Amino acid sequence: MQDNAGLDLFISVLLRHPEFNAVKYNAAKGEIKIEVALQGEIEVDKQELFIAEAQKCVALFNKLSSLETGNIRITFKEYKKSDLTFLSYQRDVESLSEEEVELFAGLLQKSFHALIIKDSGKIIAEDGFKEQIKENLLYKINRAKTSTSKFLAYRDHGRVLVFNK
């Protein structure tokens, strides 16, 4: 793991946002994928409106912040048998900031507040705690001498579970 900035962002995202059900980090590709579970089926026109608004808002935010907007992929995937829709927000780590993640979370709340399935458990998100999690994760990665650079984290009753894929 060479890019600690990506790991910092990965840890920050999963600790601060209970509305994000899973976060996937692919260090080799430099990508983070945030997944949100929504109750029910989301109409196609509402999906398209959200995608357009989110892309426009992120582009404006980055322009005002003098940042370059990298690749943004927003997708919806329906699971009709379970009456769930998963919303994915995929970004390159290099141009993604914590402020952009906050913006995305706000847009998500504005558009789908009543539909978001989120973990109700409380997680300590202090900087010292985040640093300890990062150090533990790096230690486990280095100890296992693993060559993989893909990580998956999800929330379960106030716990964050991180797996090396």
Indicate the pLDDT class of residue 107, thresholds 50, 70 and 90: very high
Identify the DSSP state of 115. G
Q: Is the pLDDT of residue 153 over 90?
A: no
Name, of 21-25, 50-54, 139-143, the range with top average pLDDT: 50-54
Answer yes or no: are the C-beta atoms of 32 and 100 closer than 8 Å: no
Write down the pLDDT at residue 1. Answer: 38
Write down the pLDDT at residue 41. Answer: 94
Reported as a single tens digit per residue, the pLDDT across 5-32 is: 677 777 778 778 888 988 888 888 889 9
Alpha-carbon gap, residue 37 to 79, rounded angstroms? 10
CB contact set of 142 (below 8 Å; sequence gap of 6+): none
Output the average pLDDT for the chain. Answer: 82
CA 4 remoteness from chain centre: 16
| Run of H or E including 45 | helix 44-64
Reported as a single tens digit per residue, the pLDDT across 55-104 is: 999 999 999 988 887 889 999 999 989 999 999 999 998 888 889 999 99
Q: How many CB atoms lie within 10 A of CB 76?
A: 18
What are the residue ranges spanned by the domains of the chain?
4-164
Alpha-carbon gap, residue 92 to 121, rounded angstroms? 29
| Run of H or E including 107 | helix 98-112
Lowest-confidence pick of 17-21, 34-38, 42-46: 17-21
